[in-house]
Amino acid sequence: MTKTIFNPVRGMKDLYGIDLTKYQYIIDNALRIANKYGYKLIETPIVENTEVFQRSIGDETDVVAKEMYTFKDKGDESITLRPEGTAGVMRAIVSNNISVTKNNPLKLMYYGPMFRYDRPQKGRYRQFHQLGFENIGAMSPYTDALTIALAHEILTAVGIFDCQVYINSLGELSSREDYIKAIVKYFSIYEDKLSEESKIRLKKNPLRILDSKDNNDKEICSMAPKIYDYLSKNDIKYFECICDILDNYGIKYEIDNLLVRGLDYYSHTIFELKVNNGQYKDAIGGGGRYDRLLNILGGPDVSGIGFAIGMERLMMLLDDNKFKLKENIISVIPVSENENESAFELYKNILSYDIRAEFVHIGNNLSKKVEIASKLDSNILLIIGNDEVKDNTVTVTYMNKTEEEGRNTVINRNNIINFLKYN
């Protein structure tokens, strides 16, 4: 047996305890808000035929070129663990013939695990979870602004008050092609000075040089041609309109001309959400408009816009203390085996009122049982010994009180449910 079987696969982790509570809290809030905006839940398989991602995300992107978990199944088909949710949702619309037109948009929400063979580090995993939204059909600045507002609202609802929206426009395809030509020309002048990664990107995916984290590259990028100068009049009008609606909404945003995003399917509006309090520098969420994605996968020629929030990154920003259980955890403890039956009756009665409780009857003596209850995070013990059975009472012990504060109190067993409910 090798040691590795005792650990999850590198870059993957188990989700339990406070983290799972946070996860569910975010999802509950997202479902509530999504309902208000008319989104319906969709679940797609975790694996797709590899081509679904190659066609939509783009062969030259890091995600497709380097990060996909792709393998042959037993039928020799190439399948891939989904690296993101948008492509699978588009494929599902086509496979299930779900109706979507310009006038009848489709709003879908999803969440679940995604897989990228990335270098694991803080906030970056090989299995991570996304909460995603896609609004397909309508193309209007209102739709774009509302999508950004939705992302902002979800983060605010779970307690991220200093979230900053960064927004940019990649324009329509022809504007972007002209822009790419211009930056290839510009970066070629500085090719020798670019980082190794950017040299490769210059050949394969030049837009992504603008996203480089290398300081030298960043300096070269700061003087590069700006996308804004290559946008058509319509593109500019559309983008300015989104900004006006966001202003009207009171959502603070910053226009970031260097924002490009890592997936090839974007056009027009793109955006990312970050926290600017120094807690974490990478994006918590990001998204944008995609003009041809559904069509590329065999669906109607309609545009869509969406975003995804990285659950692990968001969970990391939420304060653990807020998620520690505040409800009472009650342990019913018989002092010895003789009181098991009587204590079990009490325990069943408590459960029938939907009150959370544990029946701590294993352990050689009372102090061992108290220790077990304490490990279960119990704050109230209901102890039943010989005297309590005889007198029809229960000894209540508050684990976090001292003797002076009234750690122990004896109450009549008939009053126990009212006592637990209103204490």
Smallest gap from Cβ 391 to ligand HAM, in A, equals 58
Question: 235: left (phi > 0), else alpha (psi -120 to 50), else beta?
Answer: alpha
Strand partners, 398: 380
Smallest distance from ligand HAM to CB 26, Å? 12
**Least distance to ligand HAM, CB of residue 65, Å:** 14
Q: What type of residue is 301? A: D
Q: To the nearest whole angstrom, how small is the minimum distance from the Cβ of residue 68 to ligand HAM?
A: 12
Minimum CB separation from ligand HAM for residue 207, in Å? 14
**DSSP code string of 133-156:** EEEEE---HHHHHHHHHHHHHHHH
Using the minimum distance from each CB to ligand HAM, give the nearer residue, 56 or 342.
56
Q: Is 85 exposed, middle or buried (0-12, 13-18, 19+ CB in 10 A)?
A: buried
Looking at beta carbons only, is 123 or 385 nearer to ligand HAM?
A: 123
Nearer to ligand HAM, 286 or 385 (CB): 286
What's the min distance (Å) between Cβ of 198 and ligand HAM? 19
Residue whose CB is less far from ligand HAM, 79 or 260: 260
Within the chain, what is the greatest distance between any pair of CA atoms?
Answer: 93
Query: Are 167 and 256 in contact, with CB atoms under 8 Å apart?
Result: yes
Is 308 in contact with 112 (CB distance < 8 Å)? no
Nearer to ligand HAM, 260 or 263 (CB): 263
CA-closest candidate to residue 144, choices 307, 308, 309, 31:
307
For residues 342 and 347, give the distance between their C-alpha atoms in angstroms, rounded to a whole number: 9
Tokens of 213: 């984290």
- Asked whether the beta carbons of 324 and 372 are under 8 A apart, the reply is no
Q: Which one, 153 or 312, has the nearer CB to ligand HAM?
A: 312
Please state the closest distance from residue 137 (CB atom) to ligand HAM, in A: 14
Pick 268 or 313: Cβ nearer ligand HAM = 313
Report the residue number, 274 or 361, with the smaller CB distance to ligand HAM.
274
Dihedral over Cα of 169, 260, 266, 148: its sign: negative
Q: Nearest CA to 270 among 285, 249, 292, 250?
A: 285
Report the nearest approach of ligand HAM to the CB of residue 369 (Å).
42
Distance, in Å, from the CA atom of 324 to the CA atom of 177, rounded to the nearest integer, reads 52
* Closest separation in Å from C-beta 114 to ligand HAM: 7
From the CB of 1, what's the least distance to ligand HAM, in Å?
A: 30
Q: Which residues sit at the interface with ligand HAM, rule CB under 6 A?
A: 84-86, 116, 118, 123-125, 128, 130, 132, 134, 262-263, 283-288, 306-308, 310, 312-313
- Closest-by-Cβ residue to ligand HAM is 310
Cα separation values, 104 from 45, 70, 76, Å: 25, 35, 39
Reading the block at residue 373, the tokens are: 């209850």
Burial of 27 (0-12, 13-18, 19+ CB in 10 A): middle
Question: Of the two residues 85 and 385, which places its CB atom closer to ligand HAM in the complex?
Answer: 85
Complex with ligand HAM: residue 238 or 307, whichever CB lies closer: 307
Helix spans in 37-139 (H): 50-57, 62-66, 86-95
